[in-house]
Every structure is written in C-alpha cells, then in structure tokens.
A and B are shown apart, each in its own frame.
Chain A
C-alpha cells in the first residue's frame, strides 16, 4: 500500500487548525475517517499519552486526599512505596503506588489490583495487611500496614548467614503465611528473601502478592502457566512454563532457606539460559559444601524442598512447617553458629522503614528473643546462643469487648475510648511468664499483669489459651479505660524464665508502678495511668522515649538471665 497525503475539507481543516495538541486526535476522529481508522487513532493517542506519562512525572509523589506522604521508601519495576500518614486515623501506613509511566497500562493496573484483592482475602499475622485501594487523578495506590523492618536479602548481605535454627524459625513463619494463601488456592509465585520482612520486634511478614495466581477450578490455565517470578527462586516447573501449585512456593522457600543459611544462592549468577537449564536439571550447589557446620538434620530439609520433581518435595506448606518444627524441637543443644556478624552501629534497622506493619491477633512462632534492635540482641537471636528451648507464642492479641458480646482485636494505632474494656489473649507452646504493662504519654507506667489477687499466675501453663487479667476474686476481669486523653502503649512481655529484674524495675518509684489493688466488686480492673490529660506532641514523644528506655532495661534484664528467651510486643493506642 502506498502512502498518500490525506485530504481534508476546508471545514475540517478549520476545525483542525483550532485544535490544540491535546485535542488534535479527538478532532481528527470527528472527520469521516471510518470506524476502524478512528479506533486505531485512539490507540495512537494512547501511545502518545504513554510517552507523556513515561517522560513526565517520574518522581511526582502521590497526592491521595487524606494521606500525607512522609518519605519514599523504595521503588521497584512496578511501583514505588512511600511511608505516609493516614490523616483521618492518625496512623502511619505504607502507600504503594503504581509508577506514573504504568498508569495507563491495563496489565499493570490489573496486576496491582490483583495484589490488592489477594491481600484483602488474606488475614494472617505473617502476611501484610491491606487497608484500602485508592484512586485519584488516574493514580492508583494500595494502603497497607507500615512495617518498620528490613527484608532478609538486606539483612543477610549486612550481617551474613543465619544458623540452621534461625533459618528454620523464619521458614516456619513463612510456611504459615503460605499455608494461609494456599488454603485459598492462591500461589504466591514470588517467594524470595526480598519479599520476606523482619519487623523490628521479630515478626516475619510475607509481602508482594503481585504475581500471585489462583489455581482452583475456574482459574485461567494460561495465567497458571505463565513464566513469572524471580529467576533465582523459580522452580523447575515455573522455568518450563508448566503449571504451578503450592509446591512451587515450597521450592522458592527452599531457595530462601538456602540463601538465609548459606548467604548465597545455589546457582552462581549466569545468563538466564544457563540458570534455567541448571534449575531444570537440579544442578544446585550442595548446601553442605558451603556450610559444613550446619546442623545435620537441617540440610536434608532444604534439599527436599528443592527437589526437581514437585512430587518429591513437601506436598504442602503445613508439611514443610511440621518438618521444620520437628527439626527445631530436636535442637536440644544450641544450634551451630553462623558466621560472625559484622557489627552494625545504630541498631538493627539502619535502613529503617521498609514497608509496613503491625498485626494484632498474631498467632505465630515468634523468633525467640526480642525486639527493637540492638546488635547484642540480634546476635543473641541469630547466633544460636541462648536458650536450648524455643519460646513459641501461638496466640497474642489485645482485644476489646463490644456491645455485641463478641470481642474485637485492637491493632496498632487503634483508638480506644473511655469505658472500653480490654483484655489480652495469649497462648504459648510452653509454660512461660507473661507481664503486661501500660505506659501513657506522660511516661507513667503500670504493671497490669500479673495482678494482686488474680487467679492467673506466672508461669502461665503452655498449650492453653488465656485471657488476661483473668479471674480476680472469682470474677472475670478486664482492664478499663477510665478517662480519655492522649496516647497509650500496651507492652506485653513473655519469657521462659521469670524476669526477676522486672520486679525490681516495677519497684522503682515513678518509673513503674505495680497496680495495687483490684476492685473486687467491679467486673473490671480500673487501670491507673490510662487516665491521661490531652498531651502535646512533645509529651507523646517523651512518653515513647521512656518506653524505649524501659525496653532497653528489659533487654538488659533478659541479657542478665541466660536462657530467658524473651518475646515482647508493643501496641500503641490512641486515646484522644
């Protein structure tokens, strides 16, 4: 076909001459060009807008009403993540926004929304919680919980590999997250060290379900067989373009555990063709060659997850978890030590704020040892020293009674009101000592549990769900908010051994007051110190700083008691 000059009537030319750059195509579409050409013209306009979008707004921060962007946390191929403040709820959130250049891409938007829908279906302590999907002026964003922590790829590169025991502990939690997803027939397809975060405090969170695919009846087989994932973590069936299922994620988790324990990957970086060929052939460098010091039973666990044939792997996340737990239970002696960690001044999270998160109602094997950074604690946690036993916290949730009679879980930043009645639900795998404290914005602290006259006493029996504070004088009790005002923090500490130093701290005047008496006639324990006047911002910060001091004190206390595996959770509440 030979191109020719297109002719326009005088009237069309006049209309065209009045059109701006933005509406030239629209004006052109109104000329008698035929429906098919008009459709193609629309496509050209989309291409023009895509170039405009790609060339402009590369770094334009999102401006979703009601959210104030605080800082940019990072950017990937699809989206950028910002730390933001939800002005209405007064809490920090993570805001993941599709890159401006992809705003016009239906495929990218669909992937983005798919991740949102997948996250919305999942409610699990080890999975990122989504709050909302936003759309404003053509930009689309996901609001999720903000996690103050780091992905494991960064941690490993900064601190070196973990011991077998530590890697297994992470594996157990990821298995639990995967089990929740697989129960919905959702396959993650992108399980990798960078998508597993360790929150300050020890919670492990699986993120980024953007490549997730549903494999149940009615799902799209093309989608299931699409080559997608991160090459180093891809299972043989993914590389071959075969169907994926739960075992595909198990393979990827095997690579993660390999990476965590060896500090490197089972295949050296090479071109994709060679990499895929090695994956398909199962030509992976033996973990034992890299870490001859690893605990004997751990290596076969990883090897089984990495079997080329899915049928030879663990058949479910639950089965893998069971194997890891058995390994951990058999770790009577201290696990082998990992390579020494490089010192990291400034605490655990120098690159703080990777996305997202706090989760109440968590039921998870929480990494033994505690919280809020500090290389000493990290070393204690991840060097395999310390207790031979592992503190397994199975359930831990701060809850509030509601008028319906059904209690609701309270999450970080949730608002409490005067007369709210709170309790803490807790279960551990072993007998353990639990302490619940409260601090207000003025820095006033109270020991809420154990309480005088209470039927529940430390150590709380393991394997049983407890409601704290429990029965007092034969009646079920609650902690009550008796006055509005300011900010509150609830701190829960669990330990395999009694924290004698806590008693000393509690006795320290003006720092920690043990609640003296319980009103036996009331169905509640009135919490002294939850009554605070409205605070200025400085005062809130001051309170928070004091809390940090308390936690440092507790860490010191734990450090002074070898084997006192410590689990700490801090729950800030708004009490305006």
Chain B
C-alpha cells in the first residue's frame, strides 16, 4: 500500500481507533458530505420534519466511533460502506421509535410509518428492493464501488482514492463491472 494513503482515511482510522480526538474529527469531516448524501436519500417522508438527514449523519457517526474497535481500517470506501450499514440501522431504529410514540404534531400529518424514503419514492418500492437485494449479491469490493458511485455521488478520481485503485480509469472499470453485475442480479427473481 503506498504511503500516501496512510495520510488519508486509513491513517485517520488508525489514529482514531487509538483514541485521537483530532483524527476522529477529521474523519467525520471527511466522510460527512458522502454520508449526508446517503442519508438525504433515505429519510422516510413521514419522518421529514421530525428527523433531518443531519440528525441521521450525527447519530451514524456517533455509533460508528463508539464501535470503531470492531472495524478493521482498510480504505475510505470500506469505511463509507461500513457507515452506510450503520446509517440503515439508525433509520430502522428511529422509524420504530417514531412508530411507538409519535409526537402530537406528527399525528396531524400523514402517517410517518407509511412514508417511503425520497429515493424509494422516486424509483418505486419494487425497484428499490431489487437494488438492495442485488447489492447484497455483489462482492464487497463491487458493492463498495457501486455505493460510492450511486449513493455517494463520487467521481472516479475520488472513487479511485477511496478504493485505493491505481487510477480513475481503473475505478471507472470497477464501477462499470459492478453496475453490470448489479443489473444482471436485479432481474433475477428472489430466492433463485
């Protein structure tokens, strides 16, 4: 692994794991834009007004840092993928909480639990489910590449850095293969 990567996410992860507060802050700052984008697409419509994407980002980072010892630092892409999993748990937990005791104001609105996320709303529940299912059928490297491209909106240069690919073009090809494989899996019926 080239030395320069150690000055980035992996290095920050190592020192953050060792308890360095500044590294944690730098890491959070570094991941926030990507995480915010993933979160914005996932805030259920019914939770809008009660929970903002920013709340999800904060909660996700808090959980991530409190369990950092469980994460093996490799690269930024892997860390973002790890954050994505935590984010989904955060949304799941918040959804249950809102369901159990919705504030009075929420009851004056459309039911929160019935609201899809913006992305689900945009593409339809079925497509969203197929995408999520197919994603889990990819290799971890492919899944990370696809998530960085599709959900984080990163360009190929950034993806290359995050996945430690030798070049932007190499990252592009990893993404292309991942997308092709993902699309093939998306039209495979569940359980096949």
Contact = CB atoms under 8 A, between A and B. Distances in A.
A106 B101 CA distance: 31
Q: Chain A's interface: helix, strand, loop or mixed, by majority? A: helix
B113 A37 contact: no
B46 interface: yes
A6 B40 contact: no
A269 B103 contact: yes
A10 interface: no
Contacts of B36: 55
Nearest to B192: A1
B81 interface: no
A189 to B, nearest CB: 10
B104 interface: yes
A248 B83 CA distance: 45
Given A6-B180, A19-B172, A51-B41, A46 B127 contact: yes
A77 B46 contact: yes
Given A37-B187, A44-B182, A105-B121, A192 B108 contact: yes
B122 A105 contact: yes
B142 to A, nearest CB: 7
A456 interface: no
Contacts, number: 189
Given A101-B41, A271-B101, A50 B119 contact: yes
Interface stretch (B1-9, B64-72, B131-139): B131-139
Interface in A1-44: 1, 3-6, 8, 13, 16-17, 19, 21, 24-25, 28, 31, 33, 36-41, 43-44
A294 B148 CA distance: 62
Contacts of B114: 227
A6 B181 contact: yes
Interface string B19-48: 000000000000000001110110001101
Contacts of B150: 44, 47-48, 51
A46 B123 contact: yes
Nearest to A1: B188
A50 B117 CA distance: 10
Contact of B149 (A48, A265, A269, A271): A48
A38 B186 CA distance: 11
Q: Give chain B's interface secondary structure class.
A: helix
Given A51-B38, A77-B46, A101-B40, A43 B131 contact: yes
A458 B168 CA distance: 85
B89 interface: no
Contacts of B128: 47
B192 A50 contact: no
A25 B108 contact: no
A43 B130 contact: yes
Contacts of A228: 110
Interface in B131-186: 131, 137-139, 142, 149-153, 155-156, 169, 172-173, 175-177, 179-186
Nearest to A103: B122
Contact of B123 (A104, A153, A190): A104
A153 B124 CA distance: 33
B37 A55 contact: yes
Given A13-B173, A16-B172, A41 B185 contact: no
Contacts of B156: 21
30 contacts: A5-B181, A6-B180, A8-B176, A8-B177, A17-B172, A19-B172, A24-B175, A24-B176, A28-B176, A33-B180, A36-B187, A43-B131, A43-B186, A44-B186, A47-B122, A47-B127, A47-B150, A50-B119, A52-B153, A53-B122, A55-B40, A58-B40, A104-B123, A105-B121, A108-B122, A232-B104, A233-B108, A265-B107, A271-B100, A272-B107
Given A1-B137, A54-B118, A58-B40, 10 more contacts: A5-B181, A17-B172, A21-B149, A41-B179, A46-B122, A46-B127, A54-B122, A77-B115, A230-B108, A231-B102
